[in-house]
Structure 1
Amino acid sequence: MRTKIPIDIIELESSNYHLILPTQFEGRENAYWVIDTGASKSVFDQNLADFIAHTEEGTEDLHAANMSEEPLKTSLGILKPLFFGKLKVDNMKVALMDMNHINELYQKVTDYKICGLLGSDFLLNYNAVIDYKRRVLKLSDQKTGF
């Protein structure tokens, strides 16, 4: 099954565009992700504990471009079930970090509260296709196994 989800394209600064994807945790209002094709791993805001099913022991190094020369130490978490359009995702594994600085940036331009960055791990796994013309993200429930 292929799911199409509308995306919003916002301009944070002149010619600086970001793709925003709405999702929904079971029984909750929308949560918003930034689609980050350059991120190797999906990241979730550690401050949104209600949506984290559990955390895993240990930390993981996360290399973040333009943030620091040193990798960030993040903890690992598994999210509660959430929906990307009609696609239900269980046990999504994410790096957890404080995203207040990202939300401060977005609040200058938009009302979106960002819950996370959707990285290439997720996009590859669900065969994501970004259709800029139609402003949709297409996902497949036929996971690639990446």
Structure 2
Amino acid sequence: MRSKIAIELIELESYNYHLLICSRFNDGETAYWVIDTGASKSVFDKNQADFILSEEEGTEDLHAANMSDEPLKTSLGILKPLFFGKLKVEAMKVALFDMDHINELYQKVSDYKICGLLGSDFLLKYNAVIDYKRRVLKLSDQKS
């Protein structure tokens, strides 16, 4: 299955852009994601528990670019099925993290509530191509 999803550019500060896409869960609920090509693992907001199918006990160290040299402690979760355009993603594995600070940033410039960050694990698995000119994210679950 191939899918094209519109990208919205969000300017958090002057010339500081984030790429935002929309997905939807089986119940029709909309979820907004930041495309984070620098993240190795996709992250989901642990505060949006209605969309988490299961959570693994224990924690995992997630090395993130933040102000500390210490890795962030996260738990691992599996999300309920969701759609990125026509592409259905089942049992998406994510790191669970409190994203309140990210949503506080976004509330200053938009009405979007961010549910997660799409990292390289997701982008590689679905052969992602970012078309900046057309502002589209192309995804495919087919082998290249």
TM-score range, shorter chain: over 0.9
Pairs within 5 Å for 1:1-146: 1-142=1-142
Alpha-carbon distance, 1:69 to partner: 1.0
**C-alpha distance in structure 2 between counterparts of 1:52 and 1:77, whole Å:** 7
8 Å contact kept, 1:44–1:97:
yes
Identity %: 81
**C-alpha distance in structure 2 between counterparts of 1:47 and 1:143, whole Å:** 34
Alpha-carbon distance, 1:143 to partner: 5.5
**CA gap 1:143/1:100 in 2 versus in 1, 3 angstroms:** farther
Amino acid at match of 2:83: F
**C-alpha distance in structure 2 between counterparts of 1:118 and 1:124, whole Å:** 10
8 Å contact kept, 1:125–1:143:
no
Runs (4+) of structure 1 exceeding 4 A deviation are none
Q: Give 5+ residue unaligned stretches, structure 1.
A: none
SS in 2 for 1:39: coil
**C-alpha distance in structure 2 between counterparts of 1:143 and 1:113, whole Å:** 33
Aligned length: 144
TM-score by length of 1: 0.95
Q: Give 5+ residue unaligned stretches, structure 2.
A: none
**C-alpha distance in structure 2 between counterparts of 1:66 and 1:141, whole Å:** 32
**C-alpha distance in structure 1 between counterparts of 2:73 and 2:41, whole Å:** 13
**C-alpha distance in structure 2 between counterparts of 1:58 and 1:143, whole Å:** 33
Alpha-carbon distance, 1:29 to partner: 2.5
TM-score by length of 2: 0.97
